[in-house]
Amino acid sequence: QVQMVESGGGSVQAGGSLRLSCLATEVTYNKKCMAWFRQAPGKEREGVAAVNLAARTTYYRNSVKGRFSISQDNAKNTVYLQMNSLKPEDTAMYYCAAADPGAWYSCGYWQKYDYWGQGTQVTVSS
């Protein structure tokens, strides 16, 4: 069963840090890719960071490069998103996602994600 559970969200002031965790089932962790997406009120969901679990290749949207870092712990079937230097515009519901996009697509191809967690809220105040 493909299932993911996010945790670690919360409220912080601008400039602060949070670390999100995504605990996945074994079936999920056998997928090629896992990623973090976010959706702010009134906006479309957008990919934030992704990782190829076997190759450990990472991908980031431009607005979070240098501030966010995605990592994995294979022993715990867990993917993390370390978020530093948070800004009010980072406020959103953050979702963990998984995908098997095939050999032709990298894990940075956001449209290929089709398994989703329930989300965890991140609120950054100015």
Q: Which residue has the higher pLDDT, 2 or 50?
A: 50
Neighbouring residues of 65: CB distance < 8 A, sequence distance ≥ 6: none
pLDDT category of residue 2 using cuts at 50, 70 and 90: confident
Cβ partners under 8 Å of residue 58, min gap 6: 49, 50, 51, 52, 69, 70
Element (H, E) at 38: strand 33-39
User: Looking at residues 5-19, what average pLDDT do you find?
Assistant: 98
First to last CA, the chain: 40
pLDDT number for residue 10: 97
pLDDT digits (tens, 9 = 90+) for 83-96: 999 999 999 999 99
**pLDDT per position as a tens digit, 40-96:** 999 999 999 999 999 999 999 999 999 999 999 999 999 999 999 999 999 999 999
Structure tokens at 36: 């973090």
pLDDT value at 104 more than 90: no
- Residue 103's pLDDT band (cuts 50, 70, 90): confident
Q: How is the beta sheet containing 18-24 ordered, strand by strand?
A: 4-7, 18-24, 78-83, 68-73
State the pLDDT at residue 102: 87
Burial class (CB in 10 A: 0-12, 13-18, 19+), 42: exposed
| Consecutive H or E run containing 4 | strand 4-7
The two three-digit tokens of residue 121, written as one number: 């809220």
